[in-house]
Amino acid sequence: MSPTPRQHYTTERVEVPLPRETRRELWLLAGLFVTARLMSIWWFQPIHNDVRLFFAPFGWLQGQGVFPFIDYWFEYLPVQAYLMVALRGLAVALCGHGDPVSEAGCFVRTVQTASVVWELGILHLVYTTARMLRGPKPALRACWVYVALFSTAFVSLSYLETFPVFLMLASVLLAAYSSPVWGAVVAGGGFMAKLFPVAVLPALLKCDARWRWRFIAIGAFGLAAGALAAPFLFTRRPWLALSFEVTARRPPWGTVWALLDERREFGHIGPSKPDWQRFYDPAAGFGVAPYAQELLDKLPPELVYGDERLKSYVAAHFATKPTFLDWTPKWAGYWWVYGGVGVVLGLFYLVTLARLPSALPPRRRLYLAAFTMVLLFLYSKGWSPQFVLYIIPLVLITFPVAEGGLWALLLTVVTFLEMPVWAAFVNPRPGLAVASSLLLHAVVIARTALLIAIAVRLYPRLSRD
């Protein structure tokens, strides 16, 4: 397959090698970024830390010889499970064994340090991809915006999200470099870490007009995903299948679909209080693994903060039948509206793809990847604050710095109002129920409006060379 002509890579002349001033500023940016993040890890800890709250109990289970997809299903896909197991092992190697709280603290900081490494890769990909479009100076300014945002630091220190975002951006860059097969391999790895990188696949298929290469790219995507899931496909397939089943049957949260169905929860997937009281009873029909109750009775209460709801979340992963999920819509018209919008959105997207040339130049592939990702989040039935990290790098790459920075700033403000303001301060307090409902509605509607506006701004760019 012939390489894409160099002249399509950017609208400005890219100086190679970079001017000395630009190189120095890049090193300054990297130095400030790494030192600020590492110092934050040791001095500050977020109010909400997903790794400490949800991953640390499973890390303790790993110390008992109990592993995801072997002894229980996991909310996250295999690549995330591999990462959790590897990073917990690294934390034990670095800090040794101790009391559960100190082990959990070492595990959290190990994950946060790894996130800084992957985020440095994200910065490199943002700079490289933006430089292809606009040259080195605008690309450098886009990176400064990324570093200055609160939301990127918050996600990096609180969630295990930077690695799938890194894989997504790597596949986007490979799409721009006209490498659909390798891009599909990387996207397949990202898909098995988090489902969202699948949105890059249409851009990869637009690298070449020949169907042979498109089928090869699709095959590479499937092979990469299959290879990562292979250890569990034959020996522990029910646990892997349950992970996908829970994702499909999980009720909506944090989106307009959740508001339509009158759901105000924050995406909790454990059994409700009545189900928790009879969770281990075989007559309840949850099919809990026989070794689960004895094992979880030993779970140190300080790892779940003595919270029965958090312990029920951990226990839910040992159920072979996730019938505790309240997935039946509360509003009778929910599936009609959700399905109808899905059909309309799907037809619109297919028509958009059909109107595009069989093979797109690199610039328009980048726009297509960003546009597809935004549509995917618009239709997704769930939204968590960390998902903003998938959108921010894409808007910084595809838009001029001033506009991309504005979108990133607005998304950061909305995310901050959701977490920690709504989730950590307002929602847990029964006396603020009305304020909680109003704030949640405002956040969800504002975020949805922002995503629609970004999609509208991206759409004309799909047709511009």
Structure confidence by residue, pLDDT tens digits, 307-333: 888 888 999 999 999 888 888 899 999
- pLDDT for position 102: 94
Contact at 8 Å (CB) between 263 and 325?
Answer: no
- pLDDT for position 223: 97
Total residue count of the chain as it appears in this document: 465
Mean pLDDT of 216-234: 94
**Each residue's pLDDT tens digit, 236-250:** 778 999 999 998 889
- pLDDT for position 5: 40
Q: Name the pLDDT band for 352 (thresholds 50, 70, 90).
A: very high
Q: Please give the full DSSP string across 369-399, using - where no structure is assigned.
A: HHHHHHHHHHH-SB--GGGHHHHHHHHHHHS
Mean pLDDT of 119-144: 96
Q: Is the pLDDT of residue 125 over 80?
A: yes
What element of type H or E holds 237? Answer: helix 237-249
**Which residue did the predictor score with more confidence, 270 or 17?**
270
- Which percentage of the chain shows pLDDT scores above 70? 96
Which residues, 6+ apart, have CB-to-CB distance to 329 below 8 Å?
261, 335
User: Tokens 């946060």 — which residue?
Assistant: 112
Q: Name the pLDDT band for 444 (thresholds 50, 70, 90).
A: very high
Q: Which two tokens stand for residue 346?
A: 């799907």
Q: Name the pLDDT band for 389 (thresholds 50, 70, 90).
A: very high
Answer whether 0.85 is exceeded by the pTM. Answer: yes
Q: Is the pLDDT of residue 459 over 90?
A: yes
- pLDDT for position 11: 42
Mean pLDDT of 262-268: 81
Mean pLDDT of 409-417: 97
User: Tokens 């130049």 — which residue?
Assistant: 361
Mean pLDDT of 370-397: 97
Q: Domain boundaries in the chain?
A: 20-236+333-463
Helix runs in 64-179, H state only: 78-95, 100-134, 136-148, 150-158, 162-176
- pLDDT for position 305: 84
Which residues on adjacent β-strands are paired with residue 253? 382
Mean pLDDT of 262-282: 83
DSSP 236: S
Q: Which two tokens stand for residue 348?
A: 């619109």
- pLDDT for position 16: 56
Q: Which two tokens stand for residue 247?
A: 């994702």
Considering only 1-10, 119-128, 240-249, 335-344, which range has the smallest mean pLDDT? 1-10
